[in-house]
Structures are given as structure tokens and as C-alpha cells.
Structure 1
Amino acid sequence: MQNPPQGASDSLILAALPAIEAAARLSSFTRAAQELGLTQGAVSRRIQSLESHLGVALFTRQGRAVKITTDGLRLAESATAILRQIESTRLELSGDLTGSLRIGVLPSLGGLWLAPRLQAFTRLHPGLSVSVSTVDADFSAAHKDPVNWDPSLLDIVLTWGHGGWTPLTAISLFREEMIAVCSPDFKARHGIEITADLWTAPRLAHTTRPNAWDAFAEARSVSVTSGLQPQLAFDHFYMIREGALAGSGAALLPAFLIADDLAKGTLIQTGPTWPTGAQYAVVGTSTAFARPAAKAFLDWLAVV
């Protein structure tokens, strides 16, 4: 068989590079096709054509599952480096970011902190498409920062923990400091004068951090002999915040989530600040963090 012209070989390789990189990273032709805006058949044909041209198997197929071969991994690593360099050069020439950025975030962190600020980032990069979805965190002391999301589907995750998330890369966003707060009306109705008075009034609890009030009292040396047990418990901090604003009870909330409420006076601090030892962090793979969109977002987070 006569070899194709050099130009045809170059075109074949260049067309297949994004498909190889995405398929290797996602371990799926279907998910690679979705990310690239192609059909699954188009991705498969590009990879098969390159395999035929090179005379090597880049992936093994078992039904719908695909597994990259040693040769495929070598080519995928080269494809990643080449595509990253092309994107970096393009950005230097145009000055604009395009493409997509997929962010995962805890519900309260996303709703109360990230969402109101995110438009400042998108204004800086109008050509970038940003999608935000929620992730869960494990607040149990018995667990050490599990990665309970699929890192191949999210470029960056904003979550809570103690600095684990192995084997991913983690960058600390801010340390968690909890504050006991209530509404001005609640404070007046229940005669809250000192922190210990909170135990004589309704308190709101977090269902996944049920011992937070006890830990707060112990850490800040609050003298509590007895008191009412929390009657209302919620899954998320944004629910607890709404309950506190409505005067349903006193609340323990992360300081950064209620900074505006404290400034406006709609919530009042009723006890000392409690550093919990945990942190909120930005987590992702080193490959994802190296992408221009993710790097721009990380740079923005550093100054927001």
C-alpha cells in the first residue's frame, strides 16, 4: 500500500489529537465526544484512522468500555502537551479565554459566596463558558477528605476539609471560622446578653455537624451547665442562615458566609469566633489546574 502524502498524515494526526487527549482523560469515547461537541462515531473514527495509520492500538475496547494502551498513553501525553502549548500561544496572541470551565462547589459556598461574585470573573473573560454544579462534603471526623466527585467531569472543586484529597492538588482558600449569631429581634426576645444565654434559647443545628454547638462551647470555654437541645436541624448552612434571619433560633455559621449580614446588622454576633481547624479549599487534578481557564480562575480567586 502506498503511504499517504505527508500533508495528509499531519492533518490526520492534528484532527485526532483532541479526541485522543479527551478519550484518555475520560476513559470514554462517549464522554470525549460530549466534551468536544462531536458524535461518538466521529471520535471513534478519528482514533481508528490514526491507529491504522500508525499501525498500533491506542485503546483496547471491551463493549462500551475503553482502556488506553501503553502506546496510547505515550501519544496522549504528547497530545496533552501539544494542545496545552497551542492554547497558551493562542491566548498570548488573542488575549481572550474561550472554551469552558466546569466548577463544582458545596451548596452553601456556591449560593452564598461564589454565585454573587462569579459575574466579576465572567466579565473578565466574556468568551469563556462557565458551568457550576454542587458537590457534597463529608463532615464526619472519621473521614479524611474523600474525593466524592468525578475529577474528570469537573475542572475545579471548591470544598471543605482538612487538607487531604489525595491524590489531587489542593490550594487553601480560607480557614474556617465559625461565629454564633442571631437576629436583633431574637436577641431582644430571649434576653441574650452573654454567650451562655444561647443555651436557654432555641438554637439551629447542622444535620451533618450535630456536635458543633458542644465543640464550640468547649473550644471557647463557654460555661454551660444545662440548656435546651436544638429543635430545628438543617442540611445546609444557607438554610440555617435563613432560619437565623427569620428569628427561628441562634446559629453557628462560617464567618465568610455571613460577612454581609453582620455588616448590615441583620445578624448579630453573640459569641467569640471559633477557628475549627478546617479549611475551604480549591481542589483538582494538576492537569486541570494547568489549563488556561482554570489558571485564570485560580488567579482570580487569589484576589477576590
Structure 2
Amino acid sequence: MKNLNRIHITGLRAVEAVARLGSIKSAAEELGVTVGAVSQQVQKTEGQLGVQLFERQNRLLLPTAHMLAMQPHLTSAMSSLSIAVATTERGREDALTISVAPVFAGKWLVWHLKEFNKAYPGVRVRVEATVELVDPDTSDVDLCIRVGHGPYRGLNAEKLLNQRVFPVCSPALARNIREPADIGKLPIIHDPGQMFTWKTWLDLFGLDETILRDGPTFSDGSLCLDAAIAGHGVFLAWETLAVYAVKSGQVIAPFPQRPATGIGYWLISGRNAPRTKAKQAFSDWLKKELQASIGRPKGADEVNA
């Protein structure tokens, strides 16, 4: 490994990030430095190696054959270093890193995490909001909260809650709804990324999706809920997304029925990671807080519980 003595690891981090992310700007954002600093590190590393790693074309840096040969090894090495650093926090009783989907983080977790902080002031929680699947055994993430059918092979997965759905709309639009079929008279807000369809709810009343009108489409559940609050139409929401908006009166749920979609919320941890008191405390708190926050109304459909 003596050949590493003449190369600074800061420069290797820079060229790896530029090659992987495709631009100096993106690399600078990930590394937390300026664009100029990354550019200087790339030039310095090329000088230390004595080869050209990137071809400059306008504002683009295109990897040369030398860089393409180096990149997989550099990326693997940087990943290993990241995991090595992460092990310093593994097993700590005062720190937790939680990976969670952005919608769940923004519409539920952020509103309830203060209760965990009050109960466990000695535990520092870091939330990573991402839709990417993370392996807690090979990353710095301690716990993941995911929505899906499960199970998750090779990981410890505990089901937290069944996902249940129900229509919501603004108070003004709710005045036009007297029976389930009336939903077909109003615009429907669509989320193409949903893992379920209106059929889940309409089947309870012997209705089908042909009664539904067109309406605006948004690629994010949070935006769909905001559109419902703004009066754009009716949205088929789920409990962890809409519970606060319903309780605060921002939207109305015209009917109490909340059928299960067959999808669940899961708490995922690595099989090889230590089970700390902090992890157990968060797990226990999360299960109780989820159940307490939902507040299902009388008449909510508990089929497939």
C-alpha cells in the first residue's frame, strides 16, 4: 500500500464522487465543499497520478479510460471506509439513525418525534428521508421504516401497522357528499405512485372505478393531500398521511370505513447489528405512538386486521 503515500485521500474522494455523480457540482454538494475545492482536488490528483482522469468538454467532465478503470475500486473502497466509520456509532446507546420514506417522515414522524425526544432525552435521532432501500447490516442506518407487503428477506422485519385507506376532501367539497356514490360527482386527485387503487374502498359499497371522474395528478402523496386541502378534489388517503389533516379539520373524511390495502408498515433492522437499548426504546415507542395517533373512528372497517 506504499503507492498510497503519494496520493491524498481527499483527492481520491473527490474524483470518485465526480465520476459517480457525473458533475463537480453534485460532488461538491455531497462532500460539503465548494465547486472550486473539488475542481482543485481533481487537478491535484491527476498530477499526483500522472494521468488524465477526466476530459473537459464545455462544463462537463467525462471520465477517461483511466478513471473508468479506477472508479469501481474507488467506490468500493469509499463504501468500506464509510461502513468502518459507521461502526463507531453502532451499539451506542445515545444515537440512532432512522431511514424512512419522505412522505411518512414529513406527514407523521416529524409531528411525533418530539414525544420520543421527551421520553428519551439522552438519545440523539438522525432521520434520513429517502425512498431508497437501505441494508442496515452494511450501512450506518440503525432502523428503517418501510411500507410494503413484506417479508424482507435477510433482515429482521416487524410489522407495525396495516395500511388503511379512506377518501378525504376539503370541508367545502364534503358538503356535496351524502353517500359513497356521490364521490363520483367530484374530481379525483390521482397519485400514480400509489401501491393500491380505489377498488379497495369502493368494493365495500358495491361500486367500481367507472364512477370516478378525472382530476389533477401529482407524483407525491403529500402534494395530493395538499391538493385535497386546497379543494382540488377527493383523494384516497391513508392514515399516517392524513391523520393530522383530519384531526385539524383541514380535510374531511366523509365516511368512517377504512379498509386494509394488504400493505403494511414495517420496522426493519439488520440481523448482524447489535440490539441496543436505544433501538428497543424507539421500537416500543413507535408501535405505541402509531396506534395512539391513528384514532380510527367508530365504524371503521377492521376487515383483514
TM-score (norm 1): 0.61
Q: Which of 91, 113, 121 does residue 118 from structure 1 map onto?
A: 113
Q: Matched residues, percent identical? A: 26
Paired residues of 1:175 and 1:280 also in contact (CA < 8 A): yes
Paired residues of 1:103 and 1:133 also in contact (CA < 8 A): yes
Q: Which of 100, 105, 110 does residue 100 from structure 2 map onto?
A: 105
CA deviations on 1:134-189 (whole Å, 9 max, x unpaired) are 2327xxxxxxxxxx22323211111111231111111111111101111111223x
Q: Which of 218, 234, 243 does residue 227 from structure 2 map onto?
A: 243
Paired residues of 2:183 and 2:234 also in contact (CA < 8 A): yes
Segment drifting more, 108-117 vs 192-201: 192-201
SS at match of 2:231: coil
Q: Which of 5, 14, 28 does residue 80 from structure 2 map onto?
A: 28
How far, CA to CA, are the matches of 2:195 and 2:184 in structure 1?
Answer: 15
Cα distance 1:218–1:260, how it changes in 2: closer, same or farther (>3 A)? Answer: same
CA deviations on 1:185-224 (whole Å, 9 max, x unpaired) are 1223xx2222222122111111212861244323542256
Letter in 1 for 2:227: G
SS at match of 2:232: coil
Deviation at 1:104, TM superposition (A): 0.7
CA deviations on 1:92-118 (whole Å, 9 max, x unpaired) are xxxxx42x2110111111111111111
Letter in 1 for 2:229: L
Paired residues of 1:196 and 1:223 also in contact (CA < 8 A): no
SS at match of 1:205: coil
Following TM superposition, the consecutive aligned residue runs of length 4 or more in structure 1 with deviations greater than 6 angstroms are none
Cα distance 1:210–1:233, how it changes in 2: closer, same or farther (>3 A)? Answer: farther
Cα distance 1:177–1:215, how it changes in 2: closer, same or farther (>3 A)? Answer: closer
Letter in 2 for 1:104: S
Structure 2 equivalent of residue 157 of structure 1: 144
How far, CA to CA, are the matches of 2:164 and 2:211 in structure 1?
Answer: 25
Superposition map of 1:38-53 within 5 A: none
Matched, 1:184 2:179: no
Let me know the Cα RMSD of the aligned residues: 2.7
Paired residues of 2:199 and 2:209 also in contact (CA < 8 A): no
Deviation at 1:242, TM superposition (A): 0.9
Paired residues of 1:156 and 1:288 also in contact (CA < 8 A): no
SS at match of 2:278: helix
CA deviations on 1:58-100 (whole Å, 9 max, x unpaired) are xxxxxxxxxxxxxxxxxxxxxxxxx96xx7xxxxxxxxx42x2
Paired residues of 2:98 and 2:127 also in contact (CA < 8 A): yes
Structure 2 equivalent of residue 263 of structure 1: 247
Paired residues of 2:166 and 2:201 also in contact (CA < 8 A): no
Q: Which runs of 5+ in 2 are unaligned?
A: 1-77, 290-305
How far, CA to CA, are the matches of 1:29 and 1:227 in structure 2?
Answer: 53
TM-score (norm 2): 0.61
How far, CA to CA, are the matches of 2:110 and 2:209 in structure 1?
Answer: 38
Q: Which runs of 5+ in 1 are unaligned?
A: 1-25, 38-82, 88-96, 138-147
